[in-house]
Structure 1
Amino acid sequence: MKLTYLSAALLLASPLLQAQSLDLNLTNSMPAIEKLYLDLHQSPELSYHEQQTGKKIAAQLTKLGFEVTENVGGYGVVGLLKNGNGPTVMIRTDTDGLPITEQTGKAYASKVTVTDAQGATVGVMHGCGHDIHMSSFVGTAQQLVKHKDAWQGTLMMVAQPAEEVGAGAKAMLYEGLFTQYVKPDHIIALHVSASVPAGKVALKNGYTMASVDSVDISIKGKGGHGAYPHTTIDPIVIAARTVLALQTITSRELSPLEPSVITVGSIHGGAKHNVISDEVKLQLTLRSYNPDIRNAQIAAIKRITAGIAQSAGLDEALYPTVHVHEDESIPSTYNTPAQTNLVRQSIANAIGAGNVLDTPAVMAGEDFGLYGRTDENIPITLFWLGGVNQQKYVEAIKTGNTLPSLHSSKFAPDYKVALPTGIKAMSNAAVALFNQ
């Protein structure tokens, strides 16, 4: 049965929900969770290579009594624990690291290096906090197993690979995550925040993260000598016109009430001062919330690039090619309002209403949103787990200094505060969803 806004409001006001909150004493369990965090932090693996990470998560779930399947959608892990009759609640974590050399100066900093596809040696770190996610995930599983008398239903723990390349959720769904195992009634996840103090949680109803598309544009021309530009059709000039024209899509074609970002992140063309090249390549990232806006962005890019090429005198055969990397595209993350209200109240009951913040939507992307876009139309909620050391947060507010962001080589969450907060928040959110 779908939860209505009215029934959600009644549930949130119910004394029964208050009574169902878990009063967790994590003193004895945190040393092992922190040890797991430090191990995961020091042994990150890139997208598509999370083999040992998957094994570690699988071992933790197996020890807790879950029925565990490994290598789902790559190195993904699915753990199922049935505890009587009731709904199925899925808790998801992501597992992959990033090709970043850590510069936090921490004694436990990652020193892992790998050789990338281009043959270069690159550092690897959990610069997006997936080590926090996994450790909170395991800690939550421990608490829900320990307090099985507080809930009934099926607990579905999903450790998803390849989030950073937008491929993991697709791969797990393609391999039958909701058909070969069990179809969840509710799906929840957390993401560490680089702008929220540790000890607090932030969340938002509705759109909370953006859709993401990677687009390649190949602009053709007719090359020649730089001293005789009149004998050529210069693709660099066409590219310059194109970069500027693309900015008018958001400013002049789309409603100002609809968020839209079109960023040209890379431009490459030419090899020598006095040579006009035959081709320039652009790489773009597109962000939006509304799927109709995403489609309008792509359609406008194709129209504008073709129009500029035509105006430059190119034959149609040399019009630019626009390639959307559909395999990497991810939709926006839409927090189902009724479920998110329930999650918000359950977390407030657990850690205090003053520690639960409202937050604006962001233009970063997360493939978690895919789980709510299947034919099953399952409600989803993603909340932000504060990761910033509270003293550093206060200092940054006073001085106006910018804190290290996610994907920064200097991002170092305050794990001793963030982890117990995440475990309490997620455990109570799950119990509230089981018991509604």
Structure 2
Amino acid sequence: MSDSDHSLPASVLAPLDARLADLVALYEDLHRHPELGFQETRTAAEAARRLTACGYEVTTGIGGTGVTGVLRNGPGPVVLLRADMDALPVGEQTGVPYASTVEGRMHACGHDVHVTCLLGAADLLAAGREQWSGTLIALFQPAEEVGNGARAMLDDGLYSKELVPVPDVVLAQHVAPFGAGLIAYCPGACMAAADSLEITFHGSGGHGSRPETTVDPIVMAASFVQRVQSVVAREVAPKDQAVVTVGSFHAGDSANVIPDRAVVRLSVRSFDETVRAGVLAAIDRIARAEAAASGAERAPETELLDSFPVTVNDSVTLRKVNETFTGLFGEQRLFAYDPASGSEDAGLLATAAEAPLYYWWLGGWDPEEFRTALAAGRLAQDIPSNHSPRFAPVVRPTLTMGVQALTAAALSRLDPARD
């Protein structure tokens, strides 16, 4: 649509009420059957089936289990809507009647909401194609939680092999633990870059009664863990942001045996590439220095386990889509938020296409429960966050607004139909 035309054809959104019962059933089915990253075969098959029924050109198996649907509807912009599909290795404790049937796995991050909303929007946009012109891509991505899904789809030729047209804009949303019926947005860098590292410290093992004959990797790694906490405090400027977290430490199996190695896993989060590079370099420097200080004959080895880039919202796209959101939902339903330290890989789909990105947050919690917790200052205690075993978005109005938001965002970037 042009900058001056932010109205939405009511006929595109009108069928949603009649389709909502089917979408609720779909959501509950997806929630009952969570699938981990690169294992989303059941979810992908359902997405492909529904896209085909709506008239999309469907391609499956991209990057393992990724699915795309392309709807070519005359000249105009190419708009990509993205949803992630994978669940988490978390045991469910929500108590909902449609709880996960797979032990130790659940949709603890709301990707079942994302899939359902995108399929609902894809259906509405296909049914209302006489109201717009351009090309729509519905993309269902695997393995967001491990940071490899978008990259896998790109490496498998998503754009280079022309599996889909190169988009002019990429749009995505994520359900969050604030009141359903609200949308949150953040201009610019909205989510952090994240790097997960595994560092192996090599020592020389031996009997616990003769430590003088060993080079103890536990002491070496423990010193590293202590020292690495100073990186943010002493090497990152106060105006910048970074987080270094050591989440795993493994060494040895016996109380009286000094092992020959210790393995530490840690994560780094940042919002600026220069800061990111500096923190990673400092971690490597400290690891090597602690090994040298302990007299280790072998330098530590560092493996990058996964990596997410900074997620950056395009200010122009954000403004134009938000104007449409305001017209549809009302200004009181939108609010700005500070950059989040969580991470996402949706931005890769945009940067690989040299296209702008807009990624917003969709409220998913019971509004009254959220207001009560907010008033009492107990949000952290009473409202489970994403990845919690108690994370359970309220079905309505979350699904309704999620479908409307994706549909409206797409229409705001597509051209109006030409007579």
* Residue correspondence of structure 1 range 9-48 to structure 2 within 5 A: 11=3, 14=4, 16-18=5-7, 24-25=13-14, 26-48=16-38
* Residue correspondence of structure 1 range 131-280 to structure 2 within 5 A: 131-179=112-160, 180=162, 181-194=164-177, 196-280=178-262
Deviation by residue 1:126-164 (Cα, 9 ceiling, x = unmatched): 111011001100111122122223321001111111111
**Matches of 1:321 and 1:351, distance apart in 2:** 52
Match of 2:391, SS? Answer: coil
**Matches of 2:8 and 2:343, distance apart in 1:** 36
**Matches of 1:56 and 1:186, distance apart in 2:** 25
1:432 is the counterpart of 2:412:
yes
**Matches of 1:292 and 1:19, distance apart in 2:** 42
Deviation by residue 1:189-228 (Cα, 9 ceiling, x = unmatched): 111002x210111111111111121101111223333333
How many pairs are equivalent?
410
1:396 is the counterpart of 2:379:
no
Q: Percent identity?
A: 38
Match of 1:178, SS? Answer: coil
1:334–1:372 Cα contact (<8 Å) kept: no
Deviation by residue 1:42-98 (Cα, 9 ceiling, x = unmatched): 111111111111110011111111111111111111111111110000001111111
Matched residue, 1:337: 315
1:21–1:432 Cα contact (<8 Å) kept: no
1:214–1:284 Cα contact (<8 Å) kept: yes
1:428 aligned partner, one-letter code: A
Matched residue, 1:350: 328
Deviation at 1:432, TM superposition (A): 0.8
Matched residue, 2:399: 419
Deviation at 1:19, TM superposition (A): 5.8
The structure-2 alpha-carbon separation of the partners of 1:51 and 1:192, relative to structure 1 and needing over 3 Å to count, comes to same
1:45 aligned partner, one-letter code: E
1:307 is the counterpart of 2:274:
no
Deviation by residue 1:211-247 (Cα, 9 ceiling, x = unmatched): 1211011112233333333343322221121011111
2:12–2:125 Cα contact (<8 Å) kept: no
Match of 1:144, SS? Answer: helix
Match of 2:197, SS? Answer: strand
Matched residue, 1:124: 105
Q: CA RMSD of the aligned region, Å?
A: 1.8
2:411 aligned partner, one-letter code: V
The structure-2 alpha-carbon separation of the partners of 1:136 and 1:291, relative to structure 1 and needing over 3 Å to count, comes to same
**Matches of 1:80 and 1:188, distance apart in 2:** 15
Q: Quick check: 397-406 or 379-388, which moved more?
A: 397-406
Matched residue, 1:365: 343
The structure-2 alpha-carbon separation of the partners of 1:19 and 1:276, relative to structure 1 and needing over 3 Å to count, comes to closer
2:62 aligned partner, one-letter code: V
Deviation at 1:372, TM superposition (A): 2.5
Matched residue, 1:116: none
1:138 aligned partner, one-letter code: L
Identify unmatched segments of 5+ residues in structure 2. none
1:70 is the counterpart of 2:60:
yes
2:231–2:279 Cα contact (<8 Å) kept: yes
1:150 aligned partner, one-letter code: Q
Deviation at 1:371, TM superposition (A): 1.4
Deviation at 1:277, TM superposition (A): 2.1
Deviation at 1:389, TM superposition (A): 0.6
Match of 1:78, SS? Answer: strand
2:143–2:149 Cα contact (<8 Å) kept: yes
2:363 aligned partner, one-letter code: G
Deviation at 1:23, TM superposition (A): 7.3
The structure-2 alpha-carbon separation of the partners of 1:288 and 1:127, relative to structure 1 and needing over 3 Å to count, comes to same
Deviation by residue 1:324-345 (Cα, 9 ceiling, x = unmatched): 23xx212111111111111122
Match of 1:107, SS? Answer: coil
Which residue, 342, 354, 367 being the options, matches 1:377? 354
2:12–2:127 Cα contact (<8 Å) kept: no
**Matches of 2:360 and 2:366, distance apart in 1:** 18
1:368 aligned partner, one-letter code: A
Which runs of structure 1 show a deviation greater than 6 angstroms over 4 or more consecutive aligned residues? none
Q: What is the TM-score of this pair, normalised by structure 1?
A: 0.90
1:22–1:428 Cα contact (<8 Å) kept: no
Matched residue, 2:101: 111
2:8–2:411 Cα contact (<8 Å) kept: no
**Matches of 1:89 and 1:404, distance apart in 2:** 33
Q: What is the TM-score of this pair, normalised by structure 2?
A: 0.94
1:319 is the counterpart of 2:299:
yes
Deviation at 1:109, TM superposition (A): 0.7
Deviation at 1:32, TM superposition (A): 1.0
Deviation at 1:417, TM superposition (A): 0.8
Match of 1:138, SS? Answer: helix
Q: Quick check: 347-356 or 215-224, which moved more?
A: 215-224
Matched residue, 2:390: 410
1:93–1:133 Cα contact (<8 Å) kept: yes
**Matches of 2:234 and 2:11, distance apart in 1:** 51
Identify unmatched segments of 5+ residues in structure 1. 1-7, 114-122
